[in-house]
Structure 1
Amino acid sequence: MNHWPFADLVLRTPRLELRPDDDAGLLELADVALRGVHPPDYMPFGVDWTDAPRDRLGINTLQHHWGVRSRLSTANWTLNFLVRMDGRVLGVQTLRAEDFPVLREVDTGSWLGLEHQGKGCGTEMRAAVLLFAFDHLGALAARSSAFDDNLPSHGVSRKLGYRPDGTFRQLRRGEAARQTRLVVTPERVRRPDWDLVVNGVTPCLPLLTGREPID
């Protein structure tokens, strides 16, 4: 019996493969983080984890992902998909939810190493988890947010059909900055011109949706 069904879950797009994090992949992901995620004079994240000292950034990355993985439950789950191209880790695409069996909403977040940005991978990997959430989990809405000056993130959201859903202010490196909330539904999502291939989802459904798969 496989006691961790997410080990066999995989999403495939024309260029990318997304799998929930594994220890070998996390070691590679930590190296990606150390090579740089954003310019040093700009912080795109609500949690400034990349400001950690260089000798702590790698282990912090590992411990964060291990902690998230250990706390997974139907009431509150997070899947950190490692994004690979040609077998090489580029970054991570997160899909998370609270009380999904009742609310049926998900939230996304992501990052790519600097060397992999600007090539369309951000759109492709977020499209993958949106299609997975809508078509395989039965989600009714997907939410995201980004600082107003995070133009690449807002560009991905526009391409995929998100609409603004309010704003909030948050501390960023000690100063107030505005984030815009965004939401997209199955009816409004702009589907890509490729089909998502999903394998290994059936054993994961009870943990993610609270429902047994239908034969």
Structure 2
Amino acid sequence: MNYTLDFTPVLDGLPNLLWACLGTFTLAICGMLLAIVIGIGGVILRQSQFKPLRWLVIGFVELIRNTPFLVQIFFIYFALPLAGIRLDPTPTAIIALGINGGAYAIEIIRGGVQSISKGQTEAGLALGLHKAQVFRLIILKPALRTIYPSLTSQFILLTLTTSIASAISAYELTSVSQRIESDSFRSFEVYFTVTAFYLVISWVMMRIFAFFSARYFSYPLR
């Protein structure tokens, strides 16, 4: 069976694909920011003296890490409306990405925090720093330096996970490519191009992380 390549539908849809790349970046960056907030907040609660809070964080992490992302995003988009909470596809995708990434970020950040010796914490308190200052300056910043490669690798994975948001028709690269493919039936050409786009997106994200690594942590990230 002969197959003739025809990239005309891809070229015709190129402006939409480029805008969809921007949509993918938007989902990824917003999801990462939410994941960082959840990760840091979860670590703080995980260290609480109040046991129910600690168990709540542990339960959250286990629930998210042991269920598929597709089920999580479907739950937010299809199940929550039954409770009166209705969200559009893009906010749903951002929240789902943030929650999913946050669960992994909690464990990654917690590992970095635990690598900081108690002596450093005690020294900070002895110097008259508040607990919040000790956590921010003495614990969190050195911990982030240690875990930065692992955290950024997780965020690259989160960027690629945005493709699953196509299941709820969020505006991103995979969703737009599916529409072009369904209209043209040029599956090979469309998904070959989309694969190249995802490689470029991943490379750009790695370069961004490398810049912040060299700028704020004083070591190169390859």
Question: For this structure pair, what is the TM-score category when the shorter chain's length is used for normalisation?
Answer: under 0.3
Decide which structure has greater strand share.
1
* Normalised TM-score (structure 1): 0.24
Decide which structure has greater helix share.
2
Of structures 1 and 2, the one with the larger relative CO (CA 8 A, separation 6+) is 2
